[in-house]
Structure 1
Amino acid sequence: MFTESAALTDVGRVRSANEDSHGLCAEAGFFVVCDGMGGAAAGEIASQTAVSAMLEAMCGPQAIDDPRQALENAISEANLRVFSRAEQESSLHGMGTTLVSLLVLKDRIWIAHVGDSRCYRLRAGLLERMTQDHSLVDEQVRLGQMTPAEAELSPLRNVITRAIGTRATVMPDIQEVTTENGDLFLLCSDGLSKEVPDETIANILRRDTSDLQTLCRALIQEANDAGGSDNVTAIVARIR
């Protein structure tokens, strides 16, 4: 299984600093996006700390015999590092970050996430959202207490219910999926998913995919054209 990939991040049109972080080691088939939160530079520190921990755990020379356990351990370590630093430095108290990651191993894929950064898959032209946001409005939609249209307009749409580093422990959602030749995966922060409708994301990903970096640029440009109210990060990975 061979994976081609590209990644891009942008501060957006409104924010003065970029609190998103991302990392990848294509040779190990591992990709991660984090979207930090907290005052001053805390969000940036949280996301960078989490990405660093994930890359250390998942991109080393050691063989991964149990992918689910490896991801659980990596996320636990990332959570501990962010939480511990926030406890030690008062200026960082309460910082945290979302996390979404993709592990490609042979003919299987493992998707792990905490928070509202997302993973999408484009297969045969059809876009599927692979993750469920850990957010207040998304959970209310799933319970039938709010319609998707109401969720889009809710003042609570930015409230997340799970994050890396805000508590001593965290429970990630991890799923294993099969993959097919030509599958295109997108990892992104909510600076993309909240600015750009899924159908528009799908239309961009359906374009000529010979240059994945061009797709990343197009996604970020679309988010900025829609207002660019947040930092935006995109990783696109194609399975061959």
Structure 2
Amino acid sequence: MTLDSDALGEHPEAESQSVRKASRRTPRTPKDIPASPASPQRKHMDSVLQSMESRSGARQNTKHITRPSTTSKWKLARLAIGPTADESHLTEIQKILKKVTGEYTSVTQKEDVLEAIMAEAAHASYECLGRYEMEPSYTTRVAMNTAAMKGKTGEIYRICQKIGAADLDGFPDEDDRLVQQHGLREFMAQPGEITLLPEELMEGLRCRCGLALPLQRGKKATFTKALSGLMSKNNMKVSGAVGQAAASDLLAERGFVSRCGDWCLIGLVNGQGSPKVSGALTMYVAQEMPKAIFQNPAFVSSFPDVAKGLTDAFAKVHTSAAMQLDVTLTGASVTVVLLNKEHVWIAHVGDCRCVLAVPDTAGNAREFHMLPQRLTEDHKLCVKTEFDRTKEAGAEVRKLVHDKVCRLFVGESSYPSLAVTRGLGHRLGHTVGVTHKPSICKLVRKDLPEGSYMLLGSGGVWATMSDTTAVNWVNRNLDDPQQAAMSLAHEAMSRWQEPGSLAKGNLNANMPDSFGTFLIHLAETDEEPAAISPRKFVPGSDDMTTAIKLPWREVKSPDRHQQLRQIMTLATPREGMAARVMDVPSSRR
């Protein structure tokens, strides 16, 4: 029988006495070895050693072989975790090793422990792979729908115990002098409700505004939706079956407009997370944000600090919403535009984008072509400053399999799976760097180019359209801002709902999104903005009054390339192409 001394945890010494004297270790003798229980394995090892020593002429030196004892390193738990390890910080494998008892472990015990360790390591690898898998049933474009998750209540409860009160800011007392002097006129709507804005909200501000909140496929405008809208406008609360029905019909998107004196506030809110909470959250933000701004002491003072007033208003709405609703895994993206006759302020958190459309000044550009200039930057992980802030706060960033964006998680958990780094609510995300502090920019209206306008859209609009496409799409119907906003919103929603939509990717085909749109047409003088004739997206000269507009689906259809190839085939050789050119009427060349 051959014994491997390395497996026993000791290094063999040379046979000669000189080598043993040069060794750093002192050879152990049988007298130095304390007594240990006489297990079958111990007896077998002793018999083998005795037989080796009793052989005539044998020169094997067995004194270097260390027998198991209480002072050796044979105890696996002590070897793996140490005698004073804190059990709360042990890994699963260390917990398995700590269960090993006794001074000496047999081969069978070692095999059982090794099998448990391998099983735990395999399970940990499987869990690691699972953390990078996207579950389409409850994953949304921005967050996760906790209402669609089954059997995760205990896991969510454990991870949410880490939430403290660090994100709940204090706010100053209200100053209602401005509201008492001028009054506060409000308008708000959700998809399925009338979105025609009252004219008195824009009176004297040299601008026209249109709002579109399209109702998605499968949703119906019901009596309870109308009742919920009436309740929100009058701050009414009901209980019982009617209250539950109205709460369930609150949709996770809302637009609002408020007027107080010379100031007008225009806002768009997109809810994210559980539909049971996000609808109530968007209604709460639309109700409280105008009051928080127009009653803020920094805004009402003789020398108003608008930026501070907007920042304090966002903090106040976030804190009060956390006290009223369960926003642990639910939040909202909010963009507000505050304007008067001289200035425009934009404050936002999340992915509701505001774009300024200005006329194209290039020499070969047509008068109807517009160029987009972003006034807001989406708060996502693709922005370096946002990524660095969340990583410093301890967030884990993952790119899930079959997903299109990077998401934010708390440690090794699967929550909150956020694609945005700022928002109201999202309290679990606030523990890893998510913030409700808005980004603010300011414009001077007299410096804006003539004919420019602002486009405020929900995240779903920008997921299906580029900035250039959106600003030029509404330019077709700019003479009626309401019609232009409706046209853009419905086009974005139809692109999202198309089968095989690239914007939706591998998300659930029935997963809803937000497509609200505000169009704000600004003017330089007190006169009403002049109406612009609609643009026709057709080839040819301007005098083609009988031309037919092609819908977007036909222009971008998969068969379009095949049709162009057939046209080119008919036009070859050169004589055929020349013949086709000669047949074109001169008025269309």
**TM-score band, normalised by shorter chain:** 0.7 to 0.9
- Equivalent pairs, count: 226
Counterpart check, 1:199 vs 2:468: yes
Identity of aligned residues (%): 22
Aligned counterpart for 2:379 among listed residues 118, 134, 140: 134
Q: How does 1:1-240 map to 2 (within 5 A)?
A: 1-13=205-217, 18-25=251-258, 28-58=263-293, 65-86=304-325, 89=326, 92-124=327-359, 125-139=370-384, 154-156=404-406, 159-167=419-427, 170-179=436-445, 180=448, 181-228=450-497, 230-240=513-523
Does the aligned pair in 2 maintain the 1:183–1:239 contact within 8 Å? yes
Residue 230 of structure 2 aligns with which residue? none
Residue type of the partner of 1:119?
C
Bigger relative contact order (CA 8 A; separation at least 6): 1
| Displacement after TM superposition at 1:67 (Å) | 1.7
Cα separation, partners in 2 of 1:183 and 1:67, compared to 1, 3 Å:
farther
Structure 1 residues 234 and 224: CA distance shift in structure 2, 3 A:
same
Give the distance between the partners of 1:141 and 1:54, measured in 2 at CA: 24
Q: Deviations over 1:125-164 (max 9, x none)?
A: 2211211111123449999xxxxxxxxx724377111111
Structure 1 residues 129, 13: closer, same or farther in 2, change over 3 A?
Answer: farther
Match for 2:263: what amino acid?
A
CA separation in 2, counterparts of 1:38 and 1:49? 15
Work out whether residues 53 and 77 of structure 1, in 8 Å CA contact, stay in contact via their aligned partners in 2: no
From the two aligned structures, give the one with the greater strand fraction.
Answer: 1
Between 93-102 and 173-182, report the one with greater CA deviation: 173-182
* CA pair 200-12 structure 1, distance change in 2 beyond 3 A: farther
Aligned-residue Cα RMSD (Å) equals: 2.8
Unaligned runs of 5+ in 1: 144-152
What secondary structure sits across from 1:41 in the alignment? helix
1:235, CA displacement in angstroms?
0.9
Q: Which amino acid aligns with 2:419?
A: V
Secondary structure class of the residue paired with 1:232: coil
Greater shift, 117-126 or 65-74, is seen at: 65-74
User: What is the CA-CA distance between 1:119 and the residue it aligns to?
Assistant: 0.5
Code of the aligned partner of 1:171: K
Partner secondary structure for residue 136 of structure 1: coil
Further displaced range: 109-118 or 130-139: 130-139
- Secondary structure of the 2:496 match is coil
Higher helix share: 2
Deviations 1:162-190 (A, max 9, x none): 11122476211111122235431111110
Q: Does the aligned pair in 1 maintain the 2:381–2:387 contact within 8 Å?
A: no
Q: Please give the per-residue CA displacement for 1:99-129, whole angstroms capped at 9, x wherever unaligned.
A: 1111112321111001111111112222112
Q: Which amino acid aligns with 1:21?
A: R
CA contact (8 A) 2:292 2:317 kept: no
The runs of 5 or more residues in structure 2 that have no matched partner are 1-204, 221-248, 360-369, 389-402, 408-417, 498-511, 524-589
User: Residue type of the partner of 1:108?
Assistant: H
